[in-house]
Structure 1
C-alpha cells in the first residue's frame, strides 16, 4: 500500500511539473507574440526572435507538433515584416504553407492560418510587383475557401492586384464579387472596405453613384469606430473630388486624413496623407513629406540595426556560455582523470608494497628454514651419528646438545616478536649485550641520547632487526673482537654507524646484507657498506 501511494505521488508530481512547464511555455509564446505586435524596447524584436528560433528548433522534424511549428514560423515571419525584410518574410510564409499542408486533421485554426498566410504573401508579391504569382495564389486559395467571408477577402485582394496594374475593368468585376459575398455575412468592417474599393473604381470608370458608395463606406466606418480604416475613405473621397475639380471637398477630406494620421501618431498613415496632399495639388507639403519619409526610413534602419546588434550580442553570449560549459566539462574530465590516475597509482603502489611484504615474508621464512637446516638439523644429525658410531662421554654429548640449544635459541631470538612497549633504548642495550662474550666486545656511543619515542614502531622494528642481522653476520663470519655502534641526530635524520675490526668481505650482497638493505628501504631509509679483505666492515644507516 505504501509503495502504491509513493508511486501515485511521484506520477502526480511529474504530471503537475509537466503542466507547469507547458503553462510557462504558453505564457512565453503569448508574451513574445505581443512584443512583436508592440515592441517598446530596442531589443524587444531581437529577444522575440531568439526565443522563437529556439522554440522552432525544439519542434523541427516532429510531425506531432506541426501546429506549434507553424505558429512559431509565422511569428518569425512577422518579425521579418516589421524589419522590412521582404524576402525573409516571403520565405518563412512559404515554409508555413508547407508545414500547414502536412497537418492531416484540418480545423478552423488551420483554415484561418492558411488565409492569413495567403493574404501576407499576396501583399509581398504586390509589393514586388509579381502580380502573376499573387493572382495564382489567390486563385488557389479561392478553390479551398470555406465561406463567403473568405471569398470576400480573396476577391477584394484580386481586385487590388488588378487595380495596381490599372486594369480597372477586371478590378471592378472582382470588387463586385467581393461585395456580393459581403452581403451574405454580418461583417460591416469588411463590407465598408469592399464598398469603398468598389466605389472608387467606379469613379475611375465614370460609373454613376460612385460618390454615394464612397460616403456610405465612410459612414459605416465612422459610426462603428473603425478609426484606423477612415484613412482609406478619406483618400478615396479626396481623389474622387480632385478628379471633379472640387478643390474644397478635396481639401476637406485630405485635411481630415492628415488630422487622423497625426491623432493616431502613425508614420505610414501620415506619409500617405502627405502624399495625397501633394498629388491633389498642394505641393507645399512636399518638404514635410520628405522629412517624414526620412524619419520613417531612419526608424526602420535603427530598428534593423538594433535587431542585428542585439541578435549578435545574444549569439555571442550563447557562444561564450557554450565555450564556458565546454571548458568546465573539459576541466571536469581532467579532474576525473587525475582522481582516477591517483587512485590507480595508489592501488598499484599498494599492490607493489603488499607484494614486497609478501616477498620479505617469503625471504624471511626461507632464511629461517635454511638456518634451521644448516645450523640445527646438521648438528642434530651429527650428534645422532656420534651416538651410533662412537662411544662418547656423557659430558661431550651434553656439550653438543647445549650448543644445539644455544643455536636454536639464537634463531628464535632473531625472529621473535619485539616488545616495543619496553623502552627502546633498553631493548637495543639488551640486544647488543647478547652479542658480548669472551671473544667480542660491543661498544655503543650516544644510544641513550636519541629521542627514540619520536620514531614510528615500524622504524624501531626495522632498526632492531637490521642491527641484529649485522651482529649475527659479525658473529658468524668476521672473527671480529671489537664492534662499535654510534648513534647521532643530524637535522631530521637519524644516523647509525656500525664498525668492526673483523676480516672484512668483498661486499657481494649475500642474503644477510641484502636483507638489511631491503628492510631499510622499506622505511625510506638508506644503508651503505664499506669493507675490504682484512680491513674490517663498516655500515652507515640513515633514516
Structure 2
C-alpha cells in the first residue's frame, strides 16, 4: 500500500511538470520563432536575437554538413543585413547560399528557396542602384514561379527598377502584360499596386490615361482599408497634379499623404511626406523635415553600429572556440594582405606624381592667402590708419579703401589652409550653414551618411573648395531663398547635388565656374551645370 501511494505521488508530480513545461513555457529560442520576427522586422532587439540564433545554427549545420539548412540560415541572415542597411554583406550571404543551392538536387523545396534568394537579390541590387542586375534576378524569379499572384508581384518589381532608370515605355509595356493576370489574382492590393504604378508611369509619359489609373488604384486601396498603401496613392496623385499645375489638388493630396504617414507612424513616410510638401512650396514643414531627417539618419547609424559590434563579438567568440581554424585564416589573410599591399604600392607609385601636383596647388593657394593677408591687406589697413589721422579726411576714399581691405581679407579666408583630417562632415556642415541667413535657408541631405574617412585629404580639400565656390557664387549672384545640398554614394561613387531657387542665368562658364571644373577634373571627377533665367541653378558633382 505504501509503494502504491509513493508511485501515485511520483506520477502526479511528473504529470504536473509536463503540464507546466508544455503549456506555460514559450518556445522563444526556436528557428520558426526567430524567422517570424525577421519577417515582421518588429524591433532591433528581436533582429539581434535572431541574428545570434541563426549564426549559432549555421555553425552547427556547417559541422554536420547540412547544406540545405545552411542555405536557409544564410538566406535569413542576408535578410537581416538588408533590413539593417548592410547591402554588400546581404548580397554576399545570398550569393553564398545560391552557390550551395547549385550543388543540390532540383525539387520543389529547393526551387522555392531559389525563388526567394533571386527575389531578395533583386531588392538588394535595386537598393544599390545596380538596376540591370536587379531586373536580371527578377526575370529569373519569373521563369521559376508558377502562381499568378507571385508573377504579378515580380512584374511590379521589374517595373519599379525600370522606373528608377526612367525607362517608362518599357515599364508601361511590362505592366500592361501583367494586367492580363488580374482575372487569376484575388488579392486586390497587389492589383492596386500594379494599377497605381501604371498610372504613375503614364503620368511620366504624359498620357491622359494616367489619372483614371491613379484614381482606380486609390479606390481599390480605400476598399481594403490599408493605410500604408494609401500613402503611395496620395503621393503619386500629388505629383500628378503638380505636373499639371493644379496647385490646389497637389497640396490636398500632399496633405493626405502627410496625414497617412502620421497614422501608420512611419518615420520614412513622414520624412518623404514633408519633402513632398516642400516640393510644392509648403516650407512650413522645413524644420520638421530637418528634424525627421536627422532622427532617421541617427537611428539608422546607431542600429548599424550596434549590429557591427554584435557581428564583431560573435566573430571573436567563434575565433576563440576554433583556434586552429583561426590560425589557418590568419595565414591566408596575411598572404592576401601582402598581395593587396603589393598592388596598392604599385598604384601609389603611379599616383604619386599627380598627388604631388595637387598638393602643390593647395600649398600655393595657402601661400597666396597668407601673402594677401600679410602684405596687401595690412598695407591697405596701414594707409587707412594714416588717412584717419589727417585733418581733412576724404570719406569716399576711406570707404573705398575699407572695401578693398574687406575683399582682400575675404580672399585670404577663402584660400587659407583647410584642416580635413577629422570630423570632415562637421566641417562641411559648418561651411554650408555659414551661408544661411534670414533671407536664405540652407538644407543638407544625407551628409552624415557618407564615410568621409575613405576619401583622401586632397579629395576632401577639393570638395570643400568647390562647395565653397558654389556657395559664394550663390551669395553674390543668385538671390536664392532656398538652397539644398544633397549627398549620396551609388555604386561606390560620391554624388553631390547642389540646387537653389535663385534667379538663374544663361549658362556661361566664367572664372569661378571654370575653377570649379578644373578642381573636379584634377581628382578625376565630373561636374555638370543646369541653369536658366528665373529657374534656379543646379550642379551635379561626381567623384
Structure 2 length as normaliser, TM-score? 0.50
Aligned to 1:214: 214
Q: 1:25 to 1:111 in 2, by over 3 A?
A: farther
Q: 1:189 to 1:61 in 2, by over 3 A?
A: farther
Aligned to 1:241: 241
Note if contact 2:238-2:252 (Cα within 8 Å) is conserved in structure 1: yes
- Is the radius of gyration larger for structure 1 or structure 2? 1
1:88 positional shift: 0.6
SS at match of 1:208: coil
Q: 1:315 to 1:105 in 2, by over 3 A?
A: closer
Aligned to 1:353: none
Distance in 1 (CA, whole Å) between partners of 2:220 and 2:73 is 36
Q: 1:72 to 1:257 in 2, by over 3 A?
A: same
1:66 positional shift: 3.8
Q: 1:208 to 1:307 in 2, by over 3 A?
A: same
1:169 positional shift: 0.9
1:100 positional shift: 3.5
TM-superposition CA deviations, 1:478-507 (whole Å, max 9, x none): xxxxxxxxxxxxxxxxxxxxxxxxxxxxxx
Matched residue pairs, number?
A: 301
Q: 1:145 to 1:36 in 2, by over 3 A?
A: closer
1:296 positional shift: 0.7
Note if contact 2:67-2:100 (Cα within 8 Å) is conserved in structure 1: yes
State which of 27, 30, 38 in structure 2 corresponds to 1:28: 30
Note if contact 2:227-2:263 (Cα within 8 Å) is conserved in structure 1: no
Q: 1:146 to 1:62 in 2, by over 3 A?
A: farther
Aligned to 1:227: 227
Aligned to 2:261: 261
1:130 positional shift: 1.4
1:220 positional shift: 1.1
Q: 1:26 to 1:251 in 2, by over 3 A?
A: same
Distance in 2 (CA, whole Å) between partners of 1:56 and 1:26 is 18
Aligned to 2:273: 273
Q: 1:102 to 1:224 in 2, by over 3 A?
A: farther
Aligned to 2:512: none
Distance in 1 (CA, whole Å) between partners of 2:177 and 2:168 is 14
1:252 positional shift: 1.6
Aligned to 2:373: none
1:48 positional shift: 2.2
1:175 positional shift: 1.3
Q: 1:314 to 1:97 in 2, by over 3 A?
A: closer
1:105 positional shift: 4.6
Aligned to 2:190: 190
Q: 1:237 to 1:38 in 2, by over 3 A?
A: same
Structure 1: stretches of 5+ with no match in the other structure = 1-15, 324-543
Distance in 2 (CA, whole Å) between partners of 1:227 and 1:145 is 29
Aligned to 1:434: none
Q: 1:313 to 1:188 in 2, by over 3 A?
A: same
Note if contact 2:131-2:161 (Cα within 8 Å) is conserved in structure 1: yes
TM alignment of 1:269-348, pairs within 5 A: 269-313=269-313
Aligned to 1:251: 251
Distance in 1 (CA, whole Å) between partners of 2:272 and 2:91 is 24
Aligned to 1:51: 53
Distance in 2 (CA, whole Å) between partners of 1:61 and 1:208 is 61
Note if contact 1:46-1:311 (Cα within 8 Å) is conserved in structure 2: no
Distance in 2 (CA, whole Å) between partners of 1:167 and 1:238 is 21
Distance in 1 (CA, whole Å) between partners of 2:193 and 2:186 is 13
Distance in 2 (CA, whole Å) between partners of 1:239 and 1:279 is 9
Aligned to 2:62: 60
Q: For the aligned residues, what is the CA RMSD?
A: 3.1
Distance in 2 (CA, whole Å) between partners of 1:42 and 1:202 is 39
1:315 positional shift: 5.8
Identify which range, 121-130 or 253-262, moves more after superposition: 121-130
Aligned to 2:71: 70
Note if contact 1:250-1:280 (Cα within 8 Å) is conserved in structure 2: yes
SS at match of 2:105: coil
SS at match of 2:146: coil
Q: 1:175 to 1:288 in 2, by over 3 A?
A: same
Distance in 2 (CA, whole Å) between partners of 1:72 and 1:270 is 34
Structure 2: stretches of 5+ with no match in the other structure = 1-17, 324-543
Note if contact 1:100-1:110 (Cα within 8 Å) is conserved in structure 2: yes
1:203 positional shift: 1.7
Q: 1:100 to 1:227 in 2, by over 3 A?
A: farther
Note if contact 1:46-1:308 (Cα within 8 Å) is conserved in structure 2: no
1:229 positional shift: 1.2
Distance in 2 (CA, whole Å) between partners of 1:124 and 1:233 is 25
TM-superposition CA deviations, 1:440-473 (whole Å, max 9, x none): xxxxxxxxxxxxxxxxxxxxxxxxxxxxxxxxxx
Aligned to 2:91: 90
Identify which range, 30-39 or 44-53, moves more after superposition: 30-39
TM-superposition CA deviations, 1:59-107 (whole Å, max 9, x none): 22766x4443222112211221122101011111222333334442522
Aligned to 2:401: none
Distance in 1 (CA, whole Å) between partners of 2:92 and 2:316 is 26
1:133 positional shift: 1.4
Distance in 2 (CA, whole Å) between partners of 1:137 and 1:159 is 13
1:322 positional shift: 9.2
Note if contact 1:193-1:217 (Cα within 8 Å) is conserved in structure 2: yes
Distance in 2 (CA, whole Å) between partners of 1:172 and 1:39 is 32
TM alignment of 1:348-359, pairs within 5 A: none
Distance in 2 (CA, whole Å) between partners of 1:54 and 1:174 is 43
SS at match of 2:57: helix
Aligned to 2:163: 163
TM-superposition CA deviations, 1:143-195 (whole Å, max 9, x none): 32323323322222221122111121111111111222233322211100000
Q: 1:132 to 1:40 in 2, by over 3 A?
A: closer
